[in-house]
Structure 1
Amino acid sequence: MSQRDVVSWTGIISAYVKCGEHEKAIGLFDQMMASGLVPNEFTFSSVLRACSSLEDLELGMWVHGQMIKLGFESNPVLGSALVDFYSKCGCFSEAFENFKTMDSGDTVSWTTMISSFVKAQEWSQALRLYLKMINLGIVPNEFTFVKLLMACGFLGLEYGKLVHAHVIVWGIKLNLVLKTALVDVYSKCHMMEEASKISKQTPEADVMLWTAMVTGYTQVLDFKGAIDTFYKMRRSGVSPNAFTYAGLLHTCSSLSQLNLGRQIHSRVIESGLEWELSVGNGLVDMYMKCSQTVEDALQAFKEIINPNLISWTSLIAGFAQHGSECEAFQAFVEMQVSGMQPNSVTIAGILKGCVTTEAPTRVRKLHAFSIKAEADSDTMVCNALIEAYARLGMEESAWKFIKRMTYTDVITYTTLATGLNQAGHHAKTLGIIARMLDDDVKMDGFVLSGFLSASAGLAAMEPGKQLHCYSVKSGLCSWISVSNALVDLYGKCGSMQDARRVFMDISKPNVVSWNGLISGLASNSHFSSAFSAFEDMRLEGIHPDKITFLLVLYACSHGGLVDKGLECFYSMSETYGIVPQSDHYVSLVDLLGRAGRFEEALEMIKKMPFRSDALIYKTLLASCKLHKNVTLGEDMARRALALDPSDPAVYVLLANIYDEAGRSELGDMTRQMMRAKGLKKNPGQSWMEVRNKVHLFMAGDRSHPQINKLLEKIESLKLGLRSLGYENEDNEGLSYHSEKLAIAFGLLNTPSMAPIRIIKNLRICRDCHTFTKLVSKLVDREIIVRDGNRFHCFKKGDCSCQGYW
C-alpha cells in the first residue's frame, strides 16, 4: 500500500491478534507508532488483548500510559480491555480500580470484572458484583452466567441453583458453553442426576461437555457412570481429549482398577495423547496406586517430556507408598537438580514413606529442608512432620514441634494420634485427650475416631465406652468415621452384640462399615455370619475393596470354608477387577494349608505373579505343624530361612513340628541353632484392663505387686482342674505363661459374674488353651482371650474356636 492510515494499521494488528501472533502484532504496533500515526481506541484494544495473552505487564502498563496521554482513559471499550488485561496479569486491585473509574459500564465490562474476581478466587465478590450489576439495570448475558457458575462450583450447590434460576428468569438461551458450565457446577456438587438431565436438554455436545460429565462421575467415584459416559462419548463421534483420559485415570486410581487403567492407557496411545502432561501425570498416579510394583509408573514418568511439580510429586509420593524410601529420596534430589522446587505436598508425601531404620535421620533432614524452604509453617508440612515423628516413636520430638507451633488445633492432635496409633502406642494415644483438654481444643469426628481406634488396639472397653458416650452427647456419633470406629472397637473387644447395634444405626454404611462388621464377626469365630455379611454387602451394592477380600479369606480359612474361600479369591479379579496382592495369596495359602490341601497350596505359590517372600513359606510351615507334615515343613522352613534367616518364628515352628512328631532331639537341635545365631523368641505378653488401668503380664516377670497371690491362685486352679483331667504341660515352673497370670489376676480382681477379657500378643499355646477352657468350667466364668490370630471365647468348658485356631 502506498499510503497506510490508522484503519489499515489497526486492521493488520487485529488480524495478527486473532491468529494468536501476539508478538508480531506488538511489532507492527511499534512500527505504526514510529511512523507518527496516532492510534485510536480500536488499535489500543487489539494491542491490550495481545499484552493480556502474553501476560506482559510492563508493556501493557506502557500502552495504558499512552492511552491516558491521548485522552482515552474514560473510553468504555478500552475500560473493559484494561480490566481484562490487569486481571490476566494477576493485578486484581488495579483491574478493580480501572473498573470503578468507568461511568456505568456495559454488559461486557461488568462480565469482565466478574471474570476477574473469579480468576482471583474471590467467589463471593463475583456474586456481589453481579447483584450490583442487575440493580443498575445492566442485562447479563450467557458469558456472565458462565463466569458466575464457575464461582458457584466452589461456593456450593445452593448458589449454583440460584444462578441457574436466574438463567431461566432472564430467558438466556442454553447454548453449549452455558450448558457445559451448568453441568460442571452440578458435577462439582456431586449432583450427577441433575447434571445428566441438563446435558440432555439440547442435542449439542462437544468434548468439553462430555469431559465435564466424565469428570463429575469420577469425583463421586461412580465407576460405572464414568465408563458408560466415556463409551457414549465415543459412539457419538466425539474424540476424548487429554482431560477426559485424566479423569478416567483418576477413577482407576481411586478404585484400584489396574486392568481398566491399562486399557485406558492403550486408548491414550491410540489417540496419540500419551505425550500430554495431564495424561502422563494421571498414568504415574494410577500405576503407583494400583500396581504392585513401581516399574510401570516409572516408565510412564520417563515418557513425560517436561515433568512438572505434579509429575515429580506423584512419583515421589508413589515411591513412599510402596516402601521404596531410598528411591523416593533419590527422586526428591533429582527433582531439585532439574530445577523444580518441592512444595508442601511433595514434602508431606515423602515424609509418609519414612519407615526404615534410616527414617529418623531422613525425617530430621526433611525438617531442616522445610525450615530452609520456609515451609515449616505450612499446615500440611507441620502435620506430616508430627505424624512422622510420632510414627517413628520419636514422641518427644513431636511434642517439642507442637510446642513451637504458634497455633495448634484439632488437626494437630489428630495427626499426632494417627502417628502414635500407627506405631502401636495406643496407651500414649489415649493420653493425648488430657493434653487437648488442657489446651481447650474440642474433639471432632476425626480425632475421636483415632482415640476409638487406640481403645480398639488395647481392647480397652471402658475408655471406648466413655468415648462412645461422649460421641452421643456431642452429636459426633452421626459421623460415619466415628460409627465405623465404634464397630471396630466393639468387634475387637469381643462384644459383637454392641458392634451389630452400632452398625445397624448407620443410615448408609460404606465399605469401611461393612469391613468392620465382617472383621468383628470373623475374629469372634462367627465365620458363617461373616460370609453372610459379605453377601449382604454385595446385595446392597457396596463395592468390596482389597481389605474386604482379606477379611473374607480369613473367615473362610479359620472357619474351614475352603470352597467358598476359593470362590471369593477368584471373584476378586473376574468380577471386581481387583488384582490380588501378596497378602491375599498368603491368606489363600493359609486357607488351603489349614485344610491339608498342600499340593494346591504349593501350586498356588508357583502361579503367583510376583516373587515369593518368607511370609508365605512361614504360613504354609504353620499348616505343616497343624497336620504334622515333617517333610514339607522342613522344606518350607528351608525356603523361609533362605529369604529371612533372622526370623526366630521359623525356628520355633520347625522345632515344635519335630517335638510333636516325637523327634525331640531335632527340636532341641533347632532351638540350639536359633540361640547360636543370637535369635530370641518374641516374649509372650498378656494384658487386661481393670478399673481404667492396664495390667501387663510376662512369663518370668515378678514385678507385679500381686505376683505371689497370682502364683498361689494358679496352683489352686491346677489342683481343681485335676478332677477334670488336666495335666500341666507348662514346664517353666513358676514362670507360667502370661495368659495364666492374667486369668489369675482377673479372678482375684474382677466381679464374680463379669467376663474376664485378656489380650495376648502371640498365638495361644495348646496347654494354655486347654487350661483356660477348663477354668471357665471350673469357676463358671466367661473368659475372652484375643490372641495374635483371633478371639477365643471360653464358656462352660468350650471355646468358640472349636479347637481350630
Structure 2
Amino acid sequence: MLCSKKVSNSFSPCRFRETCLQVLSLCNSQTLKEGACVHSPIIKVGLQHDLYLSNNLLCLYAKCFGVGQARHLFDEMPHRDVVSWTTLLSAHTRNKHHFEALQLFDMMLGSGQCPNEFTLSSALRSCSALGEFEFGAKIHASVVKLGLELNHVLGTTLVDLYTKCDCTVEPHKLLAFVKDGDVVSWTTMISSLVETSKWSEALQLYVKMIEAGIYPNEFTFVKLLGMPSFLGLGKGYGKVLHSQLITFGVEMNLMLKTAIICMYAKCRRMEDAIKVSQQTPKYDVCLWTSIISGFVQNSQVREAVNALVDMELSGILPNNFTYASLLNASSSVLSLELGEQFHSRVIMVGLEGDIYVGNALVDMYMKCSHTTTNGVKAFRGIALPNVISWTSLIAGFAEHGFEEESVQLFAEMQAAGVQPNSFTLSTILGACSKMKSIIQTKKLHGYIIKTQVDIDMAVGNALVDAYAGGGMADEAWSVIGMMNHRDIITYTTLAARLNQQGDHEMALRVITHMCNDEVKMDEFSLASFISAAAGLGIMETGKQLHCYSFKSGFERCNSVSNSLVHSYSKCGSMRDAYRVFKDITEPDRVSWNGLISGLASNGLISDALSAFDDMRLAGVKPDSVTFLSLIFACSQGSLLNQGLDYFYSMEKTYHITPKLDHYVCLVDLLGRGGRLEEAMGVIETMPFKPDSVIYKTLLNACNLHGNVPLGEDMARRCLELDPCDPAIYLLLASLYDNAGLPDFGDKTRKLMRERGLRRSPRQCWMEVKSKIYLFSAREKIGNDEINEKLESLITEIKNRGYPYQESEDKLYHSEQLALAFGVLSVPTLAPIRINKNSLICTHCHSFIMLLTQFVDREIIVRDRKRFHVFKDGQCSCRGHS
C-alpha cells in the first residue's frame, strides 16, 4: 500500500525517479517484496535505462526473489556497470551457487568491466567453497595488479582461501595478506581450519593468536567450541576454552552461550550445559533446541521432553529443528507412541512439510514401526525430498528385510535427480550384502567409479562386506587396496566374512595387513581371529591370540572369552576351555552354549549335561543352540530317552520352536538307538520340508543297523534332492557291503564314477611351530623321513602281534601321514592334534588305537563331526562314529 500510494502521487519523471529510489531503498533495507511493484511503472515511464535505478531494483530482486529472477532482470538491463555485475555475482555466492558465480566473473572480465574489491571478494569466497585454488590464485594476481592487496576485506578473504585450499602455506604466514592482522583475520583462519576438519591446526593457531597478543572475541570461541568432541586431544579442551573466554571477559551473548551448551552436550556433560544456560536470563528457540538436542544425544529422552515443557512455559515456541530433535529422541528409544504424539503436534503447527521434520518422521517410523507404511506416507509428504529423505527410506526398507525394494528405491532416487551420499551408498551396499547379490554390488561399484565418488571409509567398508559376504574375497582385497585409509572395521568385516566362508587361513592373514597399516585389534576383531584359529583347530595360534588378549586387556570382554572357549574346545583342550570359562565374570548364554557344545563334541557327555544344569541354576535361559548341543550330546552318548526329553521340553517348558537342525539331531538320536521307523515318522510329520541332510542322517543309521530296504528308500529320496552328492552313493555302497551284498556296493560305486562324481579329497592338517602342514590321501609324500617313520610304526604293530590289516588301496591315508609327522615333530609331552575335513575311516581309527597301546602319546583327531581322543589304546568316542 505504501508503495502504490507513493507511485500514484508522483507526477514529474524526476520526482517519480526519486520516489522509486526511496521505495527501493526502504524495501532493500527491510527485504520487502512489495518494492517490486515499482518495476512496471519504471518501464512505462521509460526509466529502465537509468542504471542507478536498475541496480537498486536488481539488488531487491536478488534479495527477495532469488538468483533466477535477478539473472533474468540482469539480462534485460540495457546497460551494466561494475555494481550490476557485483550485485548479481554476490547474490550467487551468498546463495551458494558458486560455480555460476565464477562463470559470471569470467563473463564480466570478458565484457571489459574492471572488478572492484567487492567483486573480487565474492569471487574468492566462491573459489574457497569449491576448493578452486588455481582460479583463486588467478584472482589473487588480479588483486595485486589492481593494487588492492592491502585491502582489509580482500586480505581476509585471501586468508580464508589459502587456509582452506593450500596446505603448504603455514596459516600464521597468511597474515601478510592483512595489514596489522587483527582478531577478524585470525578468526577467519581458525574458522577455515575448523570448516575443513583441521581441528588440531585450529587449536594450534588459537594458541599462536594469544601469543601474538591478539585477544579472541565471541566469534573465535563459537568456531572453536563448535569442533567435534572426538579430537583425540582430551575431553578437557572445551572446558579450558570456556575458562579462557571468562578470563578474557568475552560477553556471554546468546550465540556464545548456545555454542558452550552444544560443546558440553557433545562431551556428555549435560549438568554443565544446564548450568551455563542458567547463567543469563536470555533464551531463544535456538538455545532451547540445543538443550533438547543435547539431552537426546545423551539418551536422556525424559529430560528432553521436560525441557520442551519448560521451553513452552517460558513463552518460546518450538521450531522445525526442535521437533526434528524430539522425533530423533523417539527413534533412539524406539517409542512409536512418543513419536506419534510429536507427529500430531507437528501437524497442528503446520510443519509436516518441512524437510528436517519430514526426514525425522521417515526415520522415526522406519525404526519404530513394524511396517513401512507410515514411513512411506511421511516421505510422500515431503515436497522436495533430499538425499537424507531418500536414504532414511532406503535404510528403513533394508532394515525391515525388503532389500530388493530398497534397491528399487535407490534407482527411483537417481531417476529423481538426487545424488546419493556415502551413507546412502553404504546402506544400499549393506542391502546387497544381505541379498548376497554380487551383480547389484558390481553395478554399484561401477556407479561409484563412473561418478568418481570418493570411496570413503564407510563406502569402502560396505563394498568389502558385500564382496566378501558374496564369496569374492579377491574383489574385497582389491577394494581395500584402493581405499586411501583403512580402519578396524575394514579388517574386522573382512575377517568375519572369511570365517563365514570357511576360509579361516585367509582370515588369519588379515592380521599381517592390519599390522602393516598400524591398525590395532579391538575386542571384535580379536574374537574373529580367535574364531578363525578355532575353525582350523590350531592350538598355537589360538594361544598366541589368548596372550594378546591379556596384554591388551580384552580378556575381560565376553566376546573374546567366548571365542577362546570355542577355540580351545575346537582344539580338543577342554581343560583350557573350562579355565577360560571360569574366568568370565558373568557368563552369558553364548558362554554357556560354547562350554556345553565343546564338552559334547569332545565326548564328555555327562559333563555337558551337568553344565546345562549349572546354566539353569545361574539363571541363564537356554536357547535353540543350547538344545541342539544337548540333543547332539545325547545322540553321541546313546542317551535316547534323555535326548527325547530335551527335545520335547523345548516347546513345552521353554517355548522354543524346534528348527530343522533339531529334527536332524532327533532323527540321528532315534536312528542310533535303532528306532528307525520312529525316525522315519519324525521326517514325515515334521513342519519342515525334508532336505538331503536329514535323509542322509537316517541312511547312515540304516547302515549302522543293516536295514537295507529303508536305506535304499532314503538314498532314493536323497538323490532326488541332490543327485550330484557323492556321499549318498558311498553311504549306500557301504550299506550294501556291510549287509553282505558287495556286488551291489561295487555297482553303486561304478555308477558314481560313470556320472563323473568324486568325493572331496580327504585331507588332514596340523599346526607345528605356528606353521600349518597339509596332508592329502592317495598322495605319495616325498619326505622319506615321514615314510620311514610310518613304515616303522606299522612294522612295530605287526611285530607286537596286533591285528593290523592293510588298507585296500595299499596307500597311506592322510591321518597316517599326519600322525607320523606328528610323532617326529611334536614334543614328546605335548598331544598330537590332527584336523580332518571328513569322518575318520575305520582303518585309521583302528590304526591309531593300536598305536597308542605302545606309544605313550595322546592323539587328538578332530573330524567333520566330533573329536576322537586316543590314549592307551582307547578312544573317547567309545566306538560311536
Aligned to 1:4: 20
1:236-294 per-residue CA deviation (whole Å, 9 max, x = no partner) reads 4356955446656997xxxxxxxx87x24122134344985545545545665774x85
Alignment partners' CA distance in 2, 1:668 and 1:431: 44
Structure 1 residue 673: Cα displacement: 0.8
Q: TM-score, normalised by structure 2?
A: 0.62
Aligned to 1:756: 832
Alignment partners' CA distance in 2, 1:662 and 1:274: 77
Alignment partners' CA distance in 2, 1:312 and 1:412: 16
Alignment partners' CA distance in 2, 1:23 and 1:488: 67
Contact 1:637 1:654 in 2 (8 A): yes
Contact 1:325 1:356 in 2 (8 A): no
The code of the aligned residue for 1:647 comes to D
Contact 2:403 2:434 in 1 (8 A): no
Pick one of 415, 437, 455 that aligns with 1:344: 455
Structure 1 residue 299: Cα displacement: 4.4
Aligned to 2:141: none
Contact 1:760 1:788 in 2 (8 A): yes
Q: 2:340 is paired with a residue of what secondary structure?
A: helix
Q: 1:595 is paired with a residue of what secondary structure?
A: helix
1:544-575 per-residue CA deviation (whole Å, 9 max, x = no partner) reads 9xxx8557635543445456567769999x99
Structure 1 residue 605: Cα displacement: 6.3
1:136-179 per-residue CA deviation (whole Å, 9 max, x = no partner) reads 474479xx869934633666855567632477447365655445
Aligned to 1:557: 632
Structure 1 residue 787: Cα displacement: 1.0
The code of the aligned residue for 2:609 comes to S
Aligned to 1:666: 744
Structure 1 residue 686: Cα displacement: 3.0
Contact 1:685 1:738 in 2 (8 A): yes
1:338-382 per-residue CA deviation (whole Å, 9 max, x = no partner) reads x7456536677556655899969x959x96xx8xxxx965336xx
Taking a change above 3 Å as real, the CA distance of residues 267 and 27 of structure 1, as seen in their structure-2 partners, is same
Q: 1:588 is paired with a residue of what secondary structure?
A: helix
Taking a change above 3 Å as real, the CA distance of residues 605 and 689 of structure 1, as seen in their structure-2 partners, is same
Aligned to 2:609: 528
Aligned to 1:24: 69
Alignment partners' CA distance in 1, 2:592 and 2:329: 26
Say whether 1:325 aligns with 2:438.
yes
Aligned-pair identity in percent equals 32
Pick one of 214, 218, 225 that aligns with 1:148: 225
Structure 1 residue 742: Cα displacement: 4.6
1:306-385 correspondence to structure 2 within 5 Å: 306=416, 308-309=419-420, 314-315=427-428, 318-319=431-432, 322-329=435-442, 335=447, 340-341=451-452, 343-344=454-455, 363=475, 377-379=482-484
Alignment partners' CA distance in 2, 1:278 and 1:531: 49
Aligned to 1:593: 667
The code of the aligned residue for 1:590 comes to V
Alignment partners' CA distance in 2, 1:777 and 1:206: 84
Contact 1:242 1:273 in 2 (8 A): no
Q: CA RMSD in A?
A: 6.0
Contact 1:499 1:517 in 2 (8 A): yes
Aligned to 1:51: 95
Structure 1 residue 110: Cα displacement: 10
Say whether 1:784 aligns with 2:860.
yes
Q: 1:784 is paired with a residue of what secondary structure?
A: strand
Q: 1:758 is paired with a residue of what secondary structure?
A: strand
Contact 1:586 1:619 in 2 (8 A): no
The code of the aligned residue for 2:732 comes to L
1:691-730 correspondence to structure 2 within 5 Å: 696-703=774-781, 704=783, 705-714=785-794, 716-717=796-797
Say whether 1:234 aligns with 2:340.
yes
Alignment partners' CA distance in 2, 1:489 and 1:217: 41
Count residues with an aligned counterpart.
716
Larger radius of gyration: 2
Alignment partners' CA distance in 1, 2:126 and 2:323: 31
Aligned to 2:567: 489
1:660-717 per-residue CA deviation (whole Å, 9 max, x = no partner) reads 4554443332211111122222233334445666555555545252334424434644
Contact 1:183 1:212 in 2 (8 A): yes
The code of the aligned residue for 1:651 comes to Y
Q: 2:861 is paired with a residue of what secondary structure?
A: strand
Contact 2:667 2:698 in 1 (8 A): yes
Alignment partners' CA distance in 2, 1:569 and 1:341: 55
Alignment partners' CA distance in 1, 2:624 and 2:608: 14
Taking a change above 3 Å as real, the CA distance of residues 148 and 701 of structure 1, as seen in their structure-2 partners, is same
1:610-661 per-residue CA deviation (whole Å, 9 max, x = no partner) reads xx86556555655665676655654554454345433212222232344445
The worse-fitting range, judged by mean Cα deviation, of 312-321 and 425-434 is 425-434
Contact 1:514 1:537 in 2 (8 A): no
Aligned to 1:387: none
1:587-623 per-residue CA deviation (whole Å, 9 max, x = no partner) reads 234223223344444454646xxxx865565556556
Alignment partners' CA distance in 2, 1:321 and 1:274: 30
Aligned to 1:732: 808
The code of the aligned residue for 1:324 comes to S
Aligned to 1:680: 758
Contact 1:206 1:238 in 2 (8 A): no
Contact 2:534 2:542 in 1 (8 A): yes
> Structure 1: which 5+ residue stretches go unaligned?
219-224, 252-259, 384-408
Alignment partners' CA distance in 1, 2:359 and 2:742: 67
Bigger relative CO (Cα 8 Å, ≥ 6 apart): 1
Contact 1:153 1:184 in 2 (8 A): no
Q: TM-score, normalised by structure 1?
A: 0.67
Aligned to 1:645: 723
Contact 2:203 2:224 in 1 (8 A): no
Taking a change above 3 Å as real, the CA distance of residues 454 and 770 of structure 1, as seen in their structure-2 partners, is same
1:282-339 per-residue CA deviation (whole Å, 9 max, x = no partner) reads 5545665774x85444444455453644556654554455443345435655x489x7
